[in-house]
Amino acid sequence: MTEPLIRLENVSKSYGAGTEPAVKNLTLEVMRGEVLVLVGPSGCGKSTTLRLINRLIEPSSGRIILNGEDVTKGDPAILRRKIGYVIQQVGLFPHRTIAENIATVPKLLGWDAKKIDARIDEMLDLVSMDPETYRDRFPKELSGGQAQRVGVARALAADPDVLLMDEPFGAIDPITRDRLQNEFLRLQQELKKTIVFVTHDIDEAIKMGNRIAILREGSEIAQLDTPEAILAHPADEFVESFLGSGAILKGLTLKRVRDIDMHQVPTLKAPVMRAEALQELQDSPDQVALLLDDNDKPLRWIDERSLNRTAQPIEKAVGR
Amino acid sequence: MTVDLQPEDTLQDALTVMLQSSVGMAVITDRKGKYLGCCTIESLAKLIMSDR
Protein backbone atom coordinates (compact mmCIF):
# COMPACT_ATOMS: atom_id res chain seq x y z
CA MET A 1 0.00 0.00 0.00
CA THR A 2 2.53 2.58 -1.02
CA GLU A 3 1.25 4.31 -4.15
CA PRO A 4 -2.15 5.89 -4.77
CA LEU A 5 -4.34 4.16 -7.36
CA ILE A 6 -7.06 6.80 -7.09
CA ARG A 7 -6.47 10.49 -6.52
CA LEU A 8 -9.16 13.15 -6.19
CA GLU A 9 -7.71 16.63 -6.72
CA ASN A 10 -9.73 19.63 -5.51
CA VAL A 11 -12.97 17.94 -6.54
CA SER A 12 -16.23 19.83 -6.08
CA LYS A 13 -19.82 19.03 -6.96
CA SER A 14 -22.55 21.64 -6.90
CA TYR A 15 -26.16 21.19 -7.97
CA GLY A 16 -26.79 24.82 -8.81
CA ALA A 17 -26.01 28.42 -7.98
CA GLY A 18 -26.91 29.48 -4.46
CA THR A 19 -26.79 25.95 -3.03
CA GLU A 20 -24.06 24.59 -0.80
CA PRO A 21 -21.81 22.19 -2.74
CA ALA A 22 -22.40 18.50 -1.95
CA VAL A 23 -18.64 18.02 -2.26
CA LYS A 24 -16.37 20.97 -1.62
CA ASN A 25 -12.80 21.06 -2.84
CA LEU A 26 -11.98 17.48 -1.81
CA THR A 27 -8.45 16.11 -2.19
CA LEU A 28 -8.05 12.45 -1.30
CA GLU A 29 -5.78 9.55 -2.19
CA VAL A 30 -6.69 5.87 -2.13
CA MET A 31 -3.69 3.57 -1.96
CA ARG A 32 -3.40 0.45 -4.11
CA GLY A 33 -4.78 -2.60 -2.28
CA GLU A 34 -6.32 -0.72 0.67
CA VAL A 35 -9.88 -0.47 1.92
CA LEU A 36 -10.56 3.23 2.47
CA VAL A 37 -13.82 3.84 4.30
CA LEU A 38 -15.71 7.10 3.90
CA VAL A 39 -17.86 7.58 6.97
CA GLY A 40 -19.92 10.50 8.13
CA PRO A 41 -23.42 11.65 9.01
CA SER A 42 -26.30 11.49 6.50
CA GLY A 43 -26.00 14.08 3.76
CA CYS A 44 -22.27 14.75 4.27
CA GLY A 45 -21.52 13.86 0.63
CA LYS A 46 -19.89 10.46 1.06
CA SER A 47 -22.06 8.62 -1.52
CA THR A 48 -21.74 11.55 -3.91
CA THR A 49 -17.96 11.29 -3.58
CA LEU A 50 -18.13 7.59 -4.42
CA ARG A 51 -20.28 8.20 -7.50
CA LEU A 52 -17.89 10.89 -8.69
CA ILE A 53 -15.15 8.26 -8.91
CA ASN A 54 -17.05 6.12 -11.46
CA ARG A 55 -18.71 9.19 -12.98
CA LEU A 56 -22.26 8.25 -12.14
CA ILE A 57 -22.13 11.91 -11.11
CA GLU A 58 -19.96 14.37 -13.03
CA PRO A 59 -17.76 16.70 -10.95
CA SER A 60 -18.31 20.45 -11.26
CA SER A 61 -14.58 21.01 -10.96
CA GLY A 62 -11.34 19.23 -10.11
CA ARG A 63 -9.65 16.10 -11.42
CA ILE A 64 -10.04 12.42 -10.63
CA ILE A 65 -6.96 10.36 -11.45
CA LEU A 66 -7.27 6.57 -11.72
CA ASN A 67 -4.05 4.65 -12.27
CA GLY A 68 -2.34 7.80 -13.53
CA GLU A 69 -5.14 8.70 -15.95
CA ASP A 70 -7.60 11.59 -15.65
CA VAL A 71 -10.96 9.83 -15.77
CA THR A 72 -12.98 13.01 -16.04
CA LYS A 73 -12.15 12.78 -19.75
CA GLY A 74 -13.18 9.88 -21.95
CA ASP A 75 -16.20 7.62 -22.09
CA PRO A 76 -17.78 7.08 -18.63
CA ALA A 77 -19.37 3.76 -19.74
CA ILE A 78 -15.92 2.31 -20.50
CA LEU A 79 -14.63 3.61 -17.17
CA ARG A 80 -17.48 1.90 -15.26
CA ARG A 81 -16.61 -1.47 -16.77
CA LYS A 82 -13.21 -1.20 -15.08
CA ILE A 83 -14.69 -0.40 -11.68
CA GLY A 84 -16.82 -2.79 -9.62
CA TYR A 85 -19.79 -1.16 -7.89
CA VAL A 86 -21.83 -2.63 -5.05
CA ILE A 87 -24.81 -0.79 -3.58
CA GLN A 88 -27.16 -1.33 -0.64
CA GLN A 89 -30.15 -2.16 -2.85
CA VAL A 90 -27.95 -4.75 -4.62
CA GLY A 91 -29.37 -3.77 -8.02
CA LEU A 92 -29.54 -7.26 -9.52
CA PHE A 93 -31.53 -7.47 -12.75
CA PRO A 94 -34.75 -9.19 -11.61
CA HIS A 95 -35.52 -10.95 -14.90
CA ARG A 96 -32.04 -12.34 -15.37
CA THR A 97 -30.70 -15.44 -13.67
CA ILE A 98 -27.89 -15.22 -11.15
CA ALA A 99 -25.47 -16.48 -13.83
CA GLU A 100 -26.65 -13.80 -16.29
CA ASN A 101 -26.32 -11.13 -13.63
CA ILE A 102 -22.74 -12.12 -12.86
CA ALA A 103 -21.92 -12.29 -16.57
CA THR A 104 -23.05 -8.70 -17.25
CA VAL A 105 -19.69 -6.91 -17.41
CA PRO A 106 -17.64 -9.80 -18.88
CA LYS A 107 -20.21 -9.91 -21.74
CA LEU A 108 -19.88 -6.15 -22.27
CA LEU A 109 -16.11 -6.62 -22.38
CA GLY A 110 -16.50 -9.26 -25.11
CA TRP A 111 -15.26 -12.30 -23.21
CA ASP A 112 -15.96 -15.62 -24.97
CA ALA A 113 -18.80 -17.78 -23.67
CA LYS A 114 -16.59 -20.51 -22.23
CA LYS A 115 -14.50 -18.05 -20.23
CA ILE A 116 -17.66 -16.34 -18.93
CA ASP A 117 -19.16 -19.66 -17.91
CA ALA A 118 -16.08 -20.63 -15.94
CA ARG A 119 -15.93 -17.20 -14.35
CA ILE A 120 -19.57 -17.43 -13.13
CA ASP A 121 -18.79 -20.66 -11.27
CA GLU A 122 -15.54 -19.23 -9.92
CA MET A 123 -17.30 -16.12 -8.60
CA LEU A 124 -20.13 -18.10 -6.98
CA ASP A 125 -17.56 -20.34 -5.31
CA LEU A 126 -15.70 -17.26 -4.13
CA VAL A 127 -18.79 -15.94 -2.32
CA SER A 128 -19.56 -19.40 -0.87
CA MET A 129 -22.59 -20.17 -3.07
CA ASP A 130 -22.83 -23.53 -4.81
CA PRO A 131 -22.87 -22.83 -8.59
CA GLU A 132 -25.07 -25.83 -9.36
CA THR A 133 -27.69 -24.70 -6.88
CA TYR A 134 -27.71 -20.99 -7.61
CA ARG A 135 -26.65 -20.17 -11.18
CA ASP A 136 -30.10 -20.68 -12.71
CA ARG A 137 -32.10 -19.07 -9.91
CA PHE A 138 -33.61 -15.59 -10.13
CA PRO A 139 -32.87 -12.77 -7.64
CA LYS A 140 -36.35 -13.03 -6.05
CA GLU A 141 -35.47 -16.60 -5.00
CA LEU A 142 -32.55 -15.40 -2.85
CA SER A 143 -32.40 -14.10 0.73
CA GLY A 144 -31.06 -10.59 1.33
CA GLY A 145 -27.66 -11.95 2.32
CA GLN A 146 -27.45 -14.24 -0.73
CA ALA A 147 -28.45 -11.38 -3.05
CA GLN A 148 -25.72 -9.20 -1.56
CA ARG A 149 -23.19 -12.01 -2.10
CA VAL A 150 -24.24 -12.16 -5.75
CA GLY A 151 -23.88 -8.36 -5.90
CA VAL A 152 -20.27 -8.73 -4.77
CA ALA A 153 -19.68 -11.62 -7.21
CA ARG A 154 -21.05 -9.52 -10.07
CA ALA A 155 -18.87 -6.54 -9.12
CA LEU A 156 -15.77 -8.75 -9.08
CA ALA A 157 -16.60 -10.75 -12.23
CA ALA A 158 -14.46 -8.74 -14.64
CA ASP A 159 -11.61 -8.64 -12.10
CA PRO A 160 -11.57 -4.84 -11.67
CA ASP A 161 -8.71 -3.23 -9.77
CA VAL A 162 -11.15 -0.93 -8.01
CA LEU A 163 -14.31 -1.74 -6.11
CA LEU A 164 -16.72 0.95 -4.92
CA MET A 165 -19.11 -0.17 -2.18
CA ASP A 166 -21.96 2.07 -1.06
CA GLU A 167 -23.45 0.85 2.23
CA PRO A 168 -23.29 -2.71 0.85
CA PHE A 169 -24.41 -4.41 4.05
CA GLY A 170 -26.77 -1.67 5.21
CA ALA A 171 -30.07 -3.41 4.49
CA ILE A 172 -29.17 -6.78 6.00
CA ASP A 173 -30.01 -8.08 9.48
CA PRO A 174 -27.17 -7.66 12.04
CA ILE A 175 -26.19 -11.35 12.25
CA THR A 176 -25.99 -11.83 8.46
CA ARG A 177 -24.24 -8.46 8.13
CA ASP A 178 -21.57 -9.53 10.60
CA ARG A 179 -21.06 -12.80 8.71
CA LEU A 180 -20.84 -11.01 5.34
CA GLN A 181 -18.37 -8.47 6.72
CA ASN A 182 -16.15 -11.30 7.99
CA GLU A 183 -16.40 -13.16 4.68
CA PHE A 184 -15.61 -9.97 2.81
CA LEU A 185 -12.51 -9.33 4.93
CA ARG A 186 -11.34 -12.89 4.25
CA LEU A 187 -11.90 -12.34 0.51
CA GLN A 188 -10.02 -9.06 0.55
CA GLN A 189 -7.01 -10.72 2.19
CA GLU A 190 -6.89 -12.95 -0.87
CA LEU A 191 -7.88 -10.46 -3.61
CA LYS A 192 -6.22 -7.26 -2.36
CA LYS A 193 -8.49 -4.98 -4.40
CA THR A 194 -8.46 -1.22 -3.99
CA ILE A 195 -11.77 -0.51 -2.29
CA VAL A 196 -13.62 2.67 -1.42
CA PHE A 197 -16.33 1.74 1.06
CA VAL A 198 -19.09 4.09 2.20
CA THR A 199 -20.97 3.66 5.47
CA HIS A 200 -22.65 5.79 8.10
CA ASP A 201 -21.81 3.20 10.78
CA ILE A 202 -18.55 3.95 12.62
CA ASP A 203 -18.33 0.38 13.97
CA GLU A 204 -18.46 -0.97 10.42
CA ALA A 205 -15.86 1.60 9.34
CA ILE A 206 -13.49 0.53 12.13
CA LYS A 207 -13.95 -3.12 11.27
CA MET A 208 -13.63 -2.86 7.49
CA GLY A 209 -11.14 -0.06 6.85
CA ASN A 210 -7.36 -0.03 6.53
CA ARG A 211 -7.89 3.73 6.73
CA ILE A 212 -10.96 5.78 7.53
CA ALA A 213 -11.90 9.24 6.30
CA ILE A 214 -14.39 10.82 8.69
CA LEU A 215 -16.32 13.41 6.71
CA ARG A 216 -18.26 16.50 7.71
CA GLU A 217 -20.78 18.28 5.50
CA GLY A 218 -19.54 18.95 1.98
CA SER A 219 -17.27 15.89 2.15
CA GLU A 220 -14.77 17.90 4.17
CA ILE A 221 -12.27 15.53 5.80
CA ALA A 222 -12.40 15.86 9.58
CA GLN A 223 -9.78 13.11 10.04
CA LEU A 224 -8.11 10.59 7.75
CA ASP A 225 -6.04 7.88 9.40
CA THR A 226 -5.95 4.25 10.47
CA PRO A 227 -8.79 3.09 12.75
CA GLU A 228 -6.29 2.57 15.58
CA ALA A 229 -4.96 6.14 15.30
CA ILE A 230 -8.45 7.65 15.09
CA LEU A 231 -9.65 5.73 18.16
CA ALA A 232 -6.53 6.66 20.11
CA HIS A 233 -6.29 10.30 18.98
CA PRO A 234 -9.54 11.78 17.62
CA ALA A 235 -8.67 15.03 15.83
CA ASP A 236 -11.42 17.17 17.31
CA GLU A 237 -14.80 17.23 19.06
CA PHE A 238 -16.68 16.34 15.88
CA VAL A 239 -14.65 13.14 15.45
CA GLU A 240 -14.94 12.37 19.16
CA SER A 241 -18.70 12.71 19.11
CA PHE A 242 -18.93 10.66 15.91
CA LEU A 243 -16.89 7.87 17.50
CA GLY A 244 -19.18 7.86 20.53
CA SER A 245 -18.30 6.11 23.76
CA GLY A 246 -16.57 2.78 24.28
CA ALA A 247 -13.38 3.21 22.28
CA ILE A 248 -11.84 0.07 23.86
CA LEU A 249 -14.81 -2.06 22.83
CA LYS A 250 -14.74 -0.57 19.33
CA GLY A 251 -11.03 -1.42 19.21
CA LEU A 252 -11.92 -5.09 19.64
CA THR A 253 -13.16 -5.15 16.06
CA LEU A 254 -9.64 -4.26 14.90
CA LYS A 255 -7.98 -7.32 16.29
CA ARG A 256 -8.41 -10.91 15.23
CA VAL A 257 -8.65 -14.09 17.21
CA ARG A 258 -5.35 -15.16 15.59
CA ASP A 259 -3.64 -12.27 17.47
CA ILE A 260 -4.23 -13.69 20.96
CA ASP A 261 -2.16 -16.27 22.85
CA MET A 262 -4.35 -19.32 22.56
CA HIS A 263 -5.12 -21.08 25.80
CA GLN A 264 -5.08 -24.89 25.85
CA VAL A 265 -7.56 -26.97 27.85
CA PRO A 266 -7.50 -30.76 28.34
CA THR A 267 -9.21 -32.55 25.48
CA LEU A 268 -10.86 -35.94 25.47
CA LYS A 269 -11.84 -38.04 22.48
CA ALA A 270 -15.42 -39.26 22.48
CA PRO A 271 -16.48 -41.72 23.64
CA VAL A 272 -14.55 -41.54 26.91
CA MET A 273 -15.21 -43.36 30.15
CA ARG A 274 -16.68 -41.12 32.86
CA ALA A 275 -13.95 -42.20 35.27
CA GLU A 276 -11.29 -41.03 32.87
CA ALA A 277 -13.15 -37.77 32.27
CA LEU A 278 -13.42 -37.11 36.03
CA GLN A 279 -9.71 -37.78 36.46
CA GLU A 280 -8.89 -35.36 33.66
CA LEU A 281 -11.06 -32.68 35.26
CA GLN A 282 -9.34 -33.07 38.60
CA ASP A 283 -5.99 -32.45 36.88
CA SER A 284 -7.28 -29.47 34.89
CA PRO A 285 -6.56 -25.99 36.32
CA ASP A 286 -9.67 -24.74 34.48
CA GLN A 287 -11.81 -27.60 35.84
CA VAL A 288 -13.17 -28.16 32.36
CA ALA A 289 -12.26 -30.37 29.44
CA LEU A 290 -13.32 -30.31 25.83
CA LEU A 291 -14.84 -33.37 24.25
CA LEU A 292 -13.72 -33.87 20.64
CA ASP A 293 -14.91 -36.25 17.93
CA ASP A 294 -12.65 -38.48 15.82
CA ASN A 295 -11.79 -35.53 13.55
CA ASP A 296 -10.82 -33.26 16.46
CA LYS A 297 -14.03 -31.26 16.08
CA PRO A 298 -15.36 -29.92 19.42
CA LEU A 299 -18.52 -31.64 20.65
CA ARG A 300 -19.12 -30.04 24.05
CA TRP A 301 -17.61 -28.84 27.28
CA ILE A 302 -17.37 -31.27 30.17
CA ASP A 303 -17.20 -30.19 33.80
CA GLU A 304 -17.85 -32.04 37.02
CA ARG A 305 -21.41 -30.77 37.26
CA SER A 306 -22.32 -31.90 33.76
CA LEU A 307 -20.83 -35.33 34.46
CA ASN A 308 -22.72 -35.67 37.71
CA ARG A 309 -25.95 -34.50 36.11
CA THR A 310 -25.97 -37.50 33.80
CA ALA A 311 -26.37 -39.79 36.85
CA GLN A 312 -24.75 -42.58 34.92
CA PRO A 313 -22.37 -45.13 36.39
CA ILE A 314 -18.70 -44.19 36.46
CA GLU A 315 -17.94 -46.93 33.91
CA LYS A 316 -20.38 -45.42 31.38
CA ALA A 317 -18.87 -43.69 28.37
CA VAL A 318 -19.43 -39.97 27.70
CA GLY A 319 -20.16 -38.73 24.22
CA ARG A 320 -21.69 -41.85 22.71
CA MET B 1 -22.51 -28.03 21.63
CA THR B 2 -19.88 -25.30 21.44
CA VAL B 3 -20.02 -22.10 19.39
CA ASP B 4 -16.66 -21.92 17.68
CA LEU B 5 -14.49 -19.03 16.59
CA GLN B 6 -12.09 -19.02 13.69
CA PRO B 7 -8.71 -17.22 13.65
CA GLU B 8 -10.06 -14.54 11.28
CA ASP B 9 -12.97 -13.60 13.57
CA THR B 10 -12.70 -10.34 15.47
CA LEU B 11 -12.11 -10.07 19.19
CA GLN B 12 -15.55 -8.51 19.43
CA ASP B 13 -16.96 -11.77 18.04
CA ALA B 14 -14.82 -13.59 20.61
CA LEU B 15 -16.18 -11.48 23.45
CA THR B 16 -19.77 -12.13 22.34
CA VAL B 17 -19.18 -15.89 22.23
CA MET B 18 -17.38 -15.90 25.57
CA LEU B 19 -20.17 -13.99 27.30
CA GLN B 20 -22.62 -16.66 26.13
CA SER B 21 -20.37 -19.57 27.02
CA SER B 22 -21.12 -21.68 30.09
CA VAL B 23 -17.39 -21.91 30.89
CA GLY B 24 -16.34 -18.33 30.07
CA MET B 25 -14.14 -19.50 27.20
CA ALA B 26 -14.55 -19.72 23.45
CA VAL B 27 -13.27 -22.58 21.33
CA ILE B 28 -11.12 -21.70 18.31
CA THR B 29 -11.20 -24.03 15.31
CA ASP B 30 -9.65 -23.98 11.86
CA ARG B 31 -11.80 -23.63 8.73
CA LYS B 32 -12.48 -27.37 8.76
CA GLY B 33 -13.75 -27.17 12.33
CA LYS B 34 -10.67 -28.81 13.92
CA TYR B 35 -9.82 -27.69 17.48
CA LEU B 36 -6.91 -25.23 17.73
CA GLY B 37 -7.19 -23.75 21.22
CA CYS B 38 -9.32 -21.45 23.35
CA CYS B 39 -9.84 -17.76 23.86
CA THR B 40 -10.17 -16.60 27.47
CA ILE B 41 -11.02 -13.26 29.04
CA GLU B 42 -7.44 -13.16 30.33
CA SER B 43 -5.93 -13.58 26.85
CA LEU B 44 -8.26 -10.90 25.54
CA ALA B 45 -7.38 -8.49 28.35
CA LYS B 46 -3.65 -9.16 27.86
CA LEU B 47 -3.87 -8.19 24.20
CA ILE B 48 -5.86 -5.02 24.94
CA MET B 49 -3.45 -3.98 27.69
CA SER B 50 -0.43 -4.53 25.41
CA ASP B 51 -1.72 -1.67 23.23
CA ARG B 52 -2.20 0.78 26.08
Taking the CA of residue B49 and the nearest CA in chain A, the distance in Å comes to 10
* B11:A252 CB<8 A: yes
Is A264 part of the contact surface with chain B (CB cutoff 8 Å)? Answer: yes
Quickly list H helices, chain A: 46-53, 76-81, 98-102, 104-108, 113-126, 131-134, 144-156, 174-191, 202-208, 227-232, 237-243, 247-251, 274-283, 304-309
The 10s digit of each residue's pLDDT in B5-44 is 999 888 888 988 888 887 888 999 998 899 999 999 888 8
pLDDT grade for A105, boundaries at 50, 70 and 90: confident
- Beta strand A162-166 with A194-199 is parallel
* A297:B35 CB<8 A: yes
How high is the pLDDT of residue B50?
72
Is A296 part of the contact surface with chain B (CB cutoff 8 Å)? Answer: yes
Query: A-chain residues within 8 Å CB-CB of B45?
Result: none
When the pLDDT of each residue in chain A is averaged and rounded to a whole number, the result is 87
Please say if the pLDDT value at position A37 is more than 90.
yes
- Beta strand A35-39 with A194-199 is parallel
Q: Rounded distance, CA B36 to CA B2, Å?
A: 13
Nearest CA in chain B to A267: B35
* Amino acid occupying residue B48: I
How high is the pLDDT of residue A129?
86
Cα of A143 vs its chain's centroid, Å: 18
**Global confidence as pTM:** 0.71
ipTM entry: 0.93
How high is the pLDDT of residue A80?
84
Does A126 or B27 have the greater pLDDT score? B27
Taking the CA of residue A113 and the nearest CA in chain B, the distance in Å comes to 34
Neighbours of B15 (CB within 10 A): 16
Neighbours of A128 (CB within 10 A): 12
